[in-house]
Amino acid sequence: MPIQDTGATAKQYMRVKDGCKVSVKASGESVYTSFGALKGNTDLKLNWTEVQAQTANAGKTDLYAKQATIEGQITLYNLNMANVMRTTSGLFTTVVTPGTSHAAIVDQVIPVNWDDKTRYPLNMIASSTDASLLKMPTAPALTSVTLDVGGAGEALTAWGAAASGDYTIVADSNSSSGWSIIFNSASMATGTPKAKAITIVYAANTPTARTTYNIGSSIVALASFAIKFEYTNSAGKVSGREIYKCYAKPGAITLGYGGADEDGFEEMAIQFNGVLDTTLTDGSQLMSAYEDQ
């Protein structure tokens, strides 16, 4: 069969299907959190309402578009309920049941060559004889955080109100404990601190025994969330889609269990509608699509 388009750019923008990273940001949050493993395609469909009239004496008006929206769907393999809750628009309330205190949590070592502005999960192993990972309802209490430079080491301090200090602890639903630590080498006294390991000693902490998600009010004011889709190629170039204001669709979150007679993993489908965020600049209120060049 003869080739009809022999132009130099005819195949320039073809891509092999390779998935993408999907992240969510609930109302009031300042950073995105990754959903993790997904199944299948991530579908986004742009919709709008057409407006046109046939006048009685001057033909048809121009064709206009209004109320642009986006319908989206993802299917999760990584069933982290803390992330799912970010998409439920405030329909659920969360109740945490505390467990028993653990006073012998295993010390954690952050190996050499760590970096600033990177989240390092706080993995809280219950004890030297119990490998259970503890989930914390609040930031874990620490006895010490020490840069291992020999001897007593350099004691590191948490960031204060003015953000001056050596580390901070942040909520992170993708961490086993629910929390991660971020370091600031510029505040450390030791030279080339990133070439040194860091030891974290935990104080006694009371973990979460159970988290319960409740739903069932006659009327709920829905909260929006933002969602971002990004693909990074082997050269580090990023293309993405960011939708600024989304709401879960009725009937669009599946909470059941798969049967033992079926193959594969448990999964959860989530469907949503993206709507205009009228607080943003006109013309940029629904979404952005971007590509590194």
Q: Is the pLDDT of residue 14 over 90?
A: no
Can you give the pLDDT at residue 162? 58
Can you give the pLDDT at residue 163? 62
What mean pLDDT is predicted for residues 36-61?
95
What mean pLDDT is predicted for residues 158-169?
82
Can you give the pLDDT at residue 186? 93
Domain ranges of the chain: 21-52+63-91+216-291, 96-211
Q: Domain 21-52+63-91+216-291 is of which CATH architecture?
A: Roll (2.30)
What mean pLDDT is predicted for residues 188-201?
95
Percent of the chain whose pLDDT exceeds 70: 99
pLDDT band at 161 (very low <50, low <70, confident <90, very high): low
- From 58-62, 105-109, 152-156, 161-165, the region with the lowest mean pLDDT: 161-165
pLDDT tens for residues 80-130? 999 999 999 889 999 999 999 999 999 999 999 999 999 999 999 999 999
pLDDT tens for residues 198-252? 999 999 999 999 999 999 889 999 999 999 999 999 999 999 999 999 999 988 7
Concatenating the DSSP letter of every residue in the chain gives ---S---TTTTTT-------EEEEEETT-SS-EE---EEEEEEEEEEEEEE--B-SSS-BPPPEEEEEEEEEEEEESS--HHHHHTTSTT-EEEEEEE---BS-PPPEEE-SS--TT--EE---EEETTEEEEP--SSPPPEEEEEE-SSTT-EEP-B--TTS-SSEEEEE-TTSTTSEEEEE-GGG-SSSSGGGS-EEEEE--B--EEEEEEEE--S------EEEEEEEE-TTS-EEEEEEEEEEEEEEEE------TTS-S---EEEEEEE---TTSPTT-SSEEEEE--
Q: Is the pLDDT of residue 164 over 90?
A: no
